[in-house]
Amino acid sequence: MSSGTRVKISGAALTPYNRRKDNSSFRDWACSAFNDALYKSGLEHRDIDALYVASESDFFTLQLNPASVIASDIGIEGVSTTRIEGGGASGQLAIHAATRAIQSGYVKHAAVIGVDPSASMLNSDTIKKLYSFSFDAWTDGMTGVSATVLYALSFQSFLQRTRVEEKQLASVAIQNRANALHNPNAHLGREHTVDEVKESPLIAAPYRRLHCSPLSDGAAAAILSRSDSIPSNRKNAATIIGIGGASDAMHLGAREDPGHFRAKETAMNRACAEARITPDQIGVAEVYDAYAGAQLQAIDALSLSDDLLNDLQTERFAPTGQCPINLSGGLLGQGAPTGATGVGQTASIALMLEGDYVPALQPRTIPRYGLADTHGGVCTTSAVTLMEKSVSV
């Protein structure tokens, strides 16, 4: 990276993403994810210099200062603590904050925890209402406009430009949930048919129920370390080589092309410039798929495809394709605890680049470069992280 300081992901872990019915809380899940990531890193509690906690909404946790509370729970009192919030991008933004802190020389080892009880804390109608406040609360949330409606409007514009067909849209949900069947941490592993997706209840055209990600609980954690301070047995850990963030106009009507995720394109360009690679070198990716169409919009904006329709037909993004996307199942299959999403994506890619991911989903040939991508709003805030496998893998 440009500063000369290499940042490695020395430890990574995810809890199951699901709807918790065991009376556990977000604090339990945060502890579990952190302990597993710390164990993998080979570090001790005393080695952690800073904690970054990603949590989208105080309404979910009912905790106004989650970072300090979690620091106490996991036994690292005395470290600097920061809570990061950026809608769906919260987890990835926390990864970015920790990366820059290490590059600055401020810390050697930083813990990043993403967590949200997005399923069990409140009823679904209340949660959906709160999500609508991720947009402009005055013009959208308080007027009854839902997240699904806004995403659907954006995707309608994308359809006019790309001519994606209903079968291809359905294939995203089918593939991601099929991947999730092999992921023991996944919320919604399923076998779907095109007809099943097409016949599910219409929510906001063209989106039907099976095009939408579930509400999930869960946590993910990553330990980021200076490469010269990492334990010797973790030298094969993946390296963060580029990060990028950007924003776009809040309102779709203010954008030149409401169907194009411009902020994601800008964030990707910035990350690639820092990493000194091009999008066509990416060999595996976890992208933000709150809705099936959003995955296609992400592929387009991230420049992972020069011919989207052809690449979908030739299964370029399938598990055995040139660039597998959302092997975890993505938000559609693995689940969507908002604060945990970006951290979980980064953790998953890091494990894949080490060759230590879920056996049934681990790429047989480990790619050199991987990508984790999230955004908040209808890509109003975007965050992209690029990683590289160790040459010793």
392 pLDDT more than 80: no
Structural domains of the chain, count: 1
Inside any domain, residue 2: no
The Cα 83–Cα 114 span in angstroms is 10
Inside any domain, residue 165: no
pLDDT at 190: 96
Average pLDDT taken over every residue of the chain: 95
Q: Is the pTM of this model over 0.75?
A: yes
Tokens of 386: 């690029």
Q: In 3D, which of 88, 116, 32, 21 has the Cα closest to residue 263? A: 88
Inside any domain, residue 167: no
Q: Which helix (H) or strand (E) holds 169?
A: helix 166-180
Q: In 3D, which of 171, 192, 167, 172 has the Cα closest to residue 181? A: 192
Residue 129 confidence class, pLDDT cut points 50, 70, 90: confident
Q: Which amino acid is at 127?
A: I
Q: Which amino acid is at 171?
A: S
Burial class (CB in 10 A: 0-12, 13-18, 19+), 344: buried
Average pLDDT over residues 112-133: 89
333-351 per-position pLDDT tens digit: 999 999 999 999 999 999 9
Inside any domain, residue 184: no
Strand runs labelled E in 23-108? 50-54, 80-84
pLDDT at 276: 98
Give 24's contacts (C-beta < 8 A, 6+ positions apart).
none
pLDDT at 4: 65
Tokens of 49: 């210099």
Per-residue DSSP letter, 376: E
CATH of the domain at 39: 3.40.47.10
pLDDT at 144: 87
Burial readout 354-382 (b: 16 or more C-beta within 10 A, e: otherwise): bebbbeebebeebbebbbbbbbbbbbbbb
Residue 134 confidence class, pLDDT cut points 50, 70, 90: confident
270-319 per-position pLDDT tens digit: 999 999 999 999 999 999 999 999 999 999 999 999 999 999 999 999 99
pLDDT at 393: 45
Percent of the chain with pLDDT over 70: 98
Residue 251 confidence class, pLDDT cut points 50, 70, 90: very high
Q: In 3D, which of 61, 62, 110, 116 has the Cα closest to residue 82? A: 110
Average pLDDT over residues 43-70: 95
pLDDT at 1: 43
Q: In 3D, which of 358, 383, 322 has the Cα closest to residue 12? A: 358
356-380 per-position pLDDT tens digit: 999 999 999 999 999 999 999 999 9
Give 298's contacts (C-beta < 8 A, 6+ positions apart).
261, 264, 287, 288, 289, 373
Q: Which helix (H) or strand (E) holds 151?
A: helix 147-162
Inside any domain, residue 142: no
253-280 per-position pLDDT tens digit: 999 999 999 999 999 999 999 999 999 9
Tokens of 357: 């991911």
Burial class (CB in 10 A: 0-12, 13-18, 19+), 44: exposed
CB atoms within 10 A of CB 240: 28
* Least confident range of 11-15, 117-121, 255-259: 117-121
CA angle 131, 80, 242 (to 5 degrees): 65
Inside any domain, residue 41: yes
Burial readout 200-238 (b: 16 or more C-beta within 10 A, e: otherwise): beebbebbbebbbbbbbbbbbbbbbbbbeebeeebebbb
Range of the domain at 14: 7-122+214-388
98-107 per-position pLDDT tens digit: 999 999 999 9
Residue 2 confidence class, pLDDT cut points 50, 70, 90: very low
Q: Is the separation of the CB atoms in 9 and 224 below 8 Å?
A: yes
Rg (CA), the chain: 19
Q: Is the separation of the CB atoms in 283 and 323 below 8 Å?
A: yes
Inside any domain, residue 347: yes
Percent of the chain with pLDDT over 90: 90
Q: What are phi and psi of 160, to 5 degrees?
A: -60, -30
Inside any domain, residue 56: yes
